[in-house]
């Protein structure tokens, strides 16, 4: 089987890592839209257009399932993608919410990009199950991860600035952005004792019902732009993965 995964950039590689852990044999094709990242500050119409272009690219590569490994794209484009795609489409929002509901006593925090939080996608779904929701956008987290500042004084101060206000209000926190799992240790330091839901792991588990673990185990990575420290970031996100990687460039008109 071949799993297609796309993200606005490199964050979705955390999802790829979680999928590869559960499915060593499947073939994976990943597309990171590095030429147009971040999606998190763009309008809904633009996010939908970009998402459809990414899906079109992957569907042209004979995939059996399409994983939207970007919370922003999942928040705005899932309906359009499901209509467009002839294979099952799996986003990150629903699996993250399901996982949170398994752990929470009713007070859930969600952190994500501005666009994800503004879309209300997590809030609506969580509230429909009766949870109390506290959502917060953390726009500096993505550049911190991309700069490799995964810990240390600056990152901790930024994390405190965003997260202190959630202390005492929540028992579970959803990492509603695919970059954030890399900041888990710092987030844990600030919000000690809170259950953290990594939506990358949640989406991988969701595939257990859809994906058979068969194939050659190949991983193919495509990016729409090769910026300077891209390979370094890939290595940082997937350090333990033995990937057979074809580094390719995908171009959109
Ligand atoms: N990968 C995106 C997400 O999960 C974050 C980066 C972006 O803003 O494009 O929302």
Domain end position, chosen among 199, 214, 235: 199
Residues 28-77 have pLDDT tens digits of 999 999 889 899 889 999 999 999 999 999 999 999 999 999 999 999 99
Residue 179 beta carbon below 6 angstroms from any ligand 1 atom: yes
Strands (E), the chain: 2-7, 27-32, 65-68, 89-90, 107-112, 132-137, 172-176, 195-198, 219-223, 245-249
Q: Token pair 């987030």 is at which residue?
A: 187
N- to C-terminal Cα distance for the chain? 29
Q: Would residue 124 count as lying in a domain?
A: yes
Whether residue 79 sits in one domain with residue 10: yes
Q: Would residue 73 count as lying in a domain?
A: yes
Domain count, the chain: 2
* Residue 18's CATH number: 3.40.50.1860
User: What is the overall mean pLDDT for the chain?
Assistant: 92
Ligand 1 atom nearest 176 alpha carbon: 4
Q: How far, in Å, is the centroid of ligand 1 from the Cα of 9? A: 7
pLDDT tops 80 at residue 223: yes
Whether residue 8 sits in one domain with residue 65: yes
Whether residue 46 sits in one domain with residue 171: no
pLDDT tops 80 at residue 239: no
Q: Would residue 252 count as lying in a domain?
A: no
Whether residue 186 sits in one domain with residue 105: yes
* Domain assignment of residue 192, given as a range: 93-199
For ligand 1, mutation pick of 110, 178, 202 (most atoms within 8 Å of CB): 178
């Amino acid at each position: 089987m071949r799993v297609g995964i796309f993200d606005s950039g490199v964050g979705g590689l955390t999802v790829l890592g979680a999928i590869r852990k559960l499915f060593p044999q499947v073939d994976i094709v990943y597309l990171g839209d590095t030429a147009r990242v971040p999606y998190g500050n763009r309008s809904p119409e633009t996010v939908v257009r970009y998402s459809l272009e990414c899906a079109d690219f992957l569907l042209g590569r004979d995939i059996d399932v399409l994983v939207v490994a970007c919370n922003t794209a999942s928040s705005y484009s899932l309906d359009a993608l499901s209509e467009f795609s002839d294979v099952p489409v799996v986003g990150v929002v629903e699996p993250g919410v399901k996982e949170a509901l398994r752990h929470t006593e009713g007070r859930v925090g969600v952190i994500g990009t501005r666009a994800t939080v503004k879309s209300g996608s997590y809030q609506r779904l969580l509230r429909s199950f009766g949870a109390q929701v506290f959502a917060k956008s953390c726009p500096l987290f993505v550049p911190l991860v991309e700069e490799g500042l995964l810990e240390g004084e600056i990152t901790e101060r930024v994390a405190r600035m965003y997260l202190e206000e959630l202390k005492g209000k929540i028992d579970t926190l959803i990492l509603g952005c695919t970059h954030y799992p890399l900041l888990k240790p710092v987030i844990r330091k600030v919000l000690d004792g809170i259950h953290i839901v990594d939506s990358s792991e949640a989406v991988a588990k969701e595939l257990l019902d859809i994906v058979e673990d068969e194939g050659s185990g190949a991983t193919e990575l495509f990016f729409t732009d090769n910026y300077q420290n891209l390979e370094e970031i890939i290595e940082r996100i997937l350090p333990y993965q033995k990937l057979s990687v074809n580094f390719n460039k995908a171009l959109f008109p």
